[in-house]
């Protein structure tokens, strides 16, 4: 394992220090906890908090800033933040508008965010929670009951961030978030596993010719291990899988996110994007938003995911295209 790190115990602290140094005009870290908070004015709106285990950079701290998240709570690598940490995040950004938690569907995260929500309620803070479960690969998984939350979470940050900035109230944001989550679906493929630094070896083994569809962002098993394929065949498998879930018709309007899982060069993301484009054109879909990049990674995993969002509400397109001021959404 060659990684640009120091002691494995110090990864989280050092990473947050580097991140906050770079982005000191946008964010700051709470002294008391691994919580990254926006420097932009946010008293006029509901606060949005997300987070979870680290190892998915730039998620979630990279999405803190005007128009997206108010704060991100950063757990140790692939480990949920504690209820105390989450409560610190909540109390640090609370105002009279309330707080919305956006949580990826992992049992540890759900438990801890819910506990923090209860503790906050005890302090009289109004907190709601939206659970993202966009990964259509499998039902139930190593750390999940139901479906996992993955790259589609970034769309939830962006769209709810837009509505919060527009002044939408907490209850309405919760309703909107629950609706939104139903229209966002993701499927991924791993070419090679990630290495958790403290473990020192890959989370699973794929040989030189193998890939695995549906692997989770913590290396959870996928649904199909097979021989490596050209990009257009990867795209075909993934678009077919999404089609089965969405049951779309020609003329329907969607958006897409091609997400690199950590070690996938942009060149490959652009090529894959082109293959997805071609397939969705054949399907007759109307694609009104598209984006690529490393937004929800899994350490140094090689691979890619494809997220699609059904624009049941055309305002979501404007929401995705609206300007924000964050480190990672451009």
Residues that bind its own copies (CB under 8 A): 1-7, 11, 14-19, 21-22, 54-55, 57-58, 62, 191-192, 208-209, 211, 228, 230-232, 234, 258, 262-275, 277, 290-292, 294, 297, 299-300, 302, 304, 327-330
| Peptide bond just before 69 cis, omega within 30 deg | no
- Least distance from C-beta 131 to its own copies, angstroms? 25
Query: Taking a C-beta distance cutoff of 8 angstroms, is the pair 39, 77 a contact?
Result: no
Nearer to its own copies, 11 or 165 (CB): 11
Nearer to its own copies, 119 or 228 (CB): 228
Nearer to its own copies, 30 or 263 (CB): 263
Which one from 42, 56, 60, 157 is the annotated catalytic residue?
A: 56
Cα 118 to Cα 25, 27, 124, 129, 137: the distances in Å are 33, 27, 10, 11, 32
Residue ranges of alpha helices (H) inside the chain are 11-22, 83-93, 107-122, 152-165, 170-182, 231-246, 266-282, 315-321
Indicate the burial class of 22 (C-beta count within 10 angstroms; 0-12, 13-18, 19 or more): exposed
Query: Taking a C-beta distance cutoff of 8 angstroms, is the pair 60, 81 a contact?
Result: no
Nearer to its own copies, 180 or 257 (CB): 257
- Least distance from C-beta 182 to its own copies, angstroms? 25
Does 7 participate in catalysis according to the annotation?
no
Does 157 participate in catalysis according to the annotation?
no
Which one from 60, 157, 218, 224 is the annotated catalytic residue?
A: 218
Q: How far apart are CA 60 and CA 57, in angstroms?
A: 7
Residue 71: strand pairing partners:
37, 49
- Least distance from C-beta 137 to its own copies, angstroms? 18
By annotation, the residues acting in catalysis are 56, 218
């Amino acid at each position: 394992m060659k990684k640009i790190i120091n002691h494995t115990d110090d990864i989280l602290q050092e990473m947050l220090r580097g991140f906050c140094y770079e982005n000191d005009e946008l964010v700051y870290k709470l002294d008391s906890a691994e919580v990254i908070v926006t420097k932009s004015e946010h008293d006029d709106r509901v606060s949005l908090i997300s987070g979870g285990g680290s190892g998915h950079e730039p998620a979630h701290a990279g999405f803190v800033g005007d128009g997206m998240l108010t704060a991100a709570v950063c757990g140790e690598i692939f480990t949920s933040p504690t209820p105390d940490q989450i409560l610190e995040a909540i109390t640090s950004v609370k105002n009279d508008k309330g707080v919305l938690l956006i949580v990826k569907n992992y049992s540890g995260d759900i438990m801890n965010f819910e506990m923090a929500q209860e503790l906050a309620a005890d302090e009289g803070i109004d907190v709601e929670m939206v659970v993202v479960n966009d990964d259509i690969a499998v039902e139930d998984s190593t750390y999940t009951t139901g479906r996992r939350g993955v790259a589609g979470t970034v769309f939830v940050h962006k769209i709810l961030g837009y509505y919060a900035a527009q002044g939408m109230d907490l209850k309405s944001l919760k309703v909107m978030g629950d609706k939104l989550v139903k229209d966002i679906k993701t499927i991924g493929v791993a070419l090679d596993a990630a290495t958790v630094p403290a473990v020192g070896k890959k989370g699973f083994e794929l040989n030189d010719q193998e890939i695995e569809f549906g692997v989770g962002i913590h290396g959870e098993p996928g649904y199909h291990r097979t021989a490596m394929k050209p990009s257009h065949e990867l795209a075909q498998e993934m678009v077919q899988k999404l089609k089965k879930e969405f049951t779309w018709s020609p003329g329907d309007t969607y958006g897409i996110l091609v997400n690199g899982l950590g070690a996938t060069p942009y060149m490959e993301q652009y090529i894959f994007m082109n293959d997805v484009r071609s397939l969705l054109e054949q399907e007759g879909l109307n694609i009104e938003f598209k984006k690529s990049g490393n937004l929800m990674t899994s350490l140094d995993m090689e691979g890619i995911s494809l997220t699609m969002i059904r624009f049941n509400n055309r305002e979501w397109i404007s929401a995705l295209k609206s300007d924000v001021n964050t480190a990672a959404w451009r």
